[in-house]
Amino acid sequence: MKYRESILNFIKQSKRVLKVSKKPSREEYLNVSKVTGIGIIIIGVIGFIISIIAQLLGG
């Protein structure tokens, strides 16, 4: 019984989230894409620098 209640509760909460959410505008989508891309590039550069430093110190 508790299993069924938890599933029904999850469905109820999911419906509430879907009601509140909205489709992002083109401008919002582009801004999120830019920020995500910049973050990925920064993390990649940091990883590359750490890799170079590790190679220089190790070998």
User: Residue 2: which pLDDT band, with cuts at 50, 70 and 90?
Assistant: confident
Q: Is the pTM of this model over 0.75?
A: no
Alpha carbon distance 12, 9 (integer Å): 5
| pLDDT of amino acid 55 | 95
Residue indicated by tokens 């469905």: 11
Alpha carbon distance 38, 31 (integer Å): 11
| pLDDT of amino acid 58 | 85
pLDDT tens per residue, range 23-56: 889 999 999 999 999 999 999 999 999 999 999 9
On the question of pLDDT at 20 being above 80, the answer is: yes
